[in-house]
Structure 1
Amino acid sequence: MSEIKSESELRKKCVIFGLEDVLVPGKLEESVDLEAVFGILQNLKGLEERFARFRFFVVSGYSIAEGNKRLEQHGLKKFVQEDRVFFVNQEYLEGREEVDKKLYEKNIAQNPEFKDEYFKQKVIEDIAAKFDYAKEDMVLIGHDVWTEGYYTFRFSQIEFALIRSAHASLGEKKEDEIKNLTYIDRTWEDIEKLIKGEFPKPDYALLQKFFLDKMGEKLFEGTKVGALKKISG
């Protein structure tokens, strides 16, 4: 049960969750304590009922069919209002550049479980506009330091927290944490601390360095591959 007694304690009034490896099992964690997740969502529903400005959402880059399948499979539908859940839809796709739209269609045809990782950023911006939230009122809870961490820092620019046990980079397990980011356990205690603003303020300098270092590595690898092709040609 939440210990939050008044709206003045809410440093975050809008909590946005990823789905796989955050609320339900995924590639990184085949098993998740769903009873703990149910408790978290029940407490969040209680905050929504008590405080008019507080809301929580679930956002995933899955198609509607794939996303809903996971909500039903793990029993989450009873905890989250239908209009608080967002999966990739036609309206979003129509708003994308033609090249991005065609790439999505190609990916989803090859793999129905494909996820559009940028989708979260568009939804975050839409939620902020619809409900008049300032950036500092919002937080994204994810697990991937690249697609949910760096993307959020770069695009929607709200704060984010990463589930420690499912920490990943581009979908692959990442053992070491990046200093000065917010890492949490999948517990109500940590979620409540996040909402109350009790974690240290994050600093994204090392996240930026991590991103630039990785991009440099990828560029170097691409240069080596190109050189080898040229030599072999």
Structure 2
Amino acid sequence: MRHTLIMDTGEPQPIRVVVVDDQQVVREGLVALLDLLDDVEVAGSAADGAQALALLERLGQVDVVLMDLNMPVLNGVEATERVTRAHPGVAVLVLTTYSDDESIAGALAAGARGYLTKDAGRREIGAALQAVVAGQLTFGADVSRQVAGSLSAKPLPREESLPDGLTAREAEVLGLITTGLSNAEIAARLFIGEATVKTHINNAFAKIGVRNRVEAARYAARRGLAG
């Protein structure tokens, strides 16, 4: 079943994407790959973050920036932060070679809504584009394993060291949200009930002043709770 972004006109509209990668062969390959997706339209491409910002100023409607991280002039993390600040309606989906904790946490803290590595296939990229446009947080399977593994290796923090009055369990749940797990999956991982997870999430959201999982993931990344 084909999924398309529905605009106020009621007519199906393609997801307009800007591709940002400093390697020309990769950039052109991504443009060609995205052109194969019926519900995606490539609005433009750029070789670094500075070019991407200039392009966004010139273009009309853009839904997603597909962002590499390691680029000259203006790298992907800095560009993500500037895009999300200047164009809050544009989602950033990171597509990079790196899946280390520092890169993932930096991208999330900058405001990225999704994180994939460059071995992702066409279907995975298409699904991730749909997810970030819908306001969801999404990760590639390998990235989810990396974040979850980092979290499981970390001891629970001392509550007196946590920000905003968070309990250790609330901080742990916030960290797991950054992996893209559902409430049921978090419950299974922590061996607690799903209703308990919801309670921890509601309490944590109230304490840190966020409204949804994307904002919570950014908070967790900025506060060092994401792994």
Provide TM-score, normalisation by structure 1: 0.36
- Higher RCO (CA-CA < 8 Å; seq separation 6+): 1
TM-score normalised according to structure 2 size:
0.37
Greater radius of gyration (CA): 1
